[in-house]
Amino acid sequence: MDLRLTGKTAVVTGASRGIGLATVRALVAEGVRVVGAARTVTPELKDSGALPYAVDLGTPEGPAALIAYATAELGGVDFLVNNVGAGDDVHLGGFLSTDDAHWQGTLDINLLSAVRAARAALPGLVERRGAIVNVSSIGARQPGLGPVAYAVAKAGLTAFSKVLAEEFGPQGVRVNTVSPGPVRTAIWEDPDGFGAQLAAAHGAEHATFLADLPQSFGITSGRITEPEEVAALITFLMSDVAGNITGADHLIDGGVVKTV
């Protein structure tokens, strides 16, 4: 299938690894010129074919600076992928152990970074009839699966996508959400990451916990999602092939969410 993306431009946040890096690579392979933004520019991002940009998107000024840079370097932005999110900073404590600082940090990176990036990018996206994909989580639909601040932030991001789709759809901008379940990234596989914390909380070895994760999460397909699969969905949603898809939340979770 020809996605007809050659010559388009994109900004991808959280681009140093995982879903973000896979999305950068997928877009570059389709002929898209990409600015990949991350707090830390990794060697993999440098070698991806994208223009790397180091920025803290959890700050009020970070997203606007990113869009200004991308607009200047690319001559305009056609696509925005708001993928950055708290993975390293997610903690397993319940509501009463989640203080204001953690709430604010989680909201800043998971929700407000997308709000601020969209605010900066939308004038140009309207002019170019572009598209936005926000990367949320199945935790927005099943908040009991995740830490409270993270789940609430992702639910807000999903609602934000719908609001933008309604307001800017008549102006030619499509906005969609992609909501992954567990994905084979450092969040789950890093020995100091969220997956390792969750394994320890259940009294399990990390490797054993990961092997049992499809069954324990009720993943119908029997395996967790690969970053490249999420990237392929994002890339499709950016293209004109998906030209009448907007305001939708697309699950990619192997069947974890059982409701219609």
| C-alpha 62 chain-centroid distance | 17
150 as an active site residue: the answer is: yes
Task: Find tokens 């609430």 and name the residue.
Answer: 152
What does the block give as tokens for 158? 């999903």
Active-site position among 5, 108, 132, 150: 150
- C-alpha closest to that of 81 among 118, 55, 112: 118
Structure tokens at 193: 């990451």
Q: How many CB atoms lie within 10 A of CB 134?
A: 26
76 in Cβ contact with 9 (< 8 Å):
yes
Residue 240's CB: how many other CB atoms inside 10 A? 13
Contacts 24+ apart (CB under 8 A), 216-223: 217/181, 217/182, 217/256, 218/255, 218/256, 218/258, 219/181, 219/182, 219/253, 219/254, 219/255, 219/256, 220/254, 220/255, 220/256, 221/254, 221/255, 222/254, 223/254
Name the residue among 6, 84, 7 with its Cα closest to residue 45: 84
> Residue 167 and residue 186: Cα distance in Å, rounded?
35
- Annotated active-site positions, please? 150
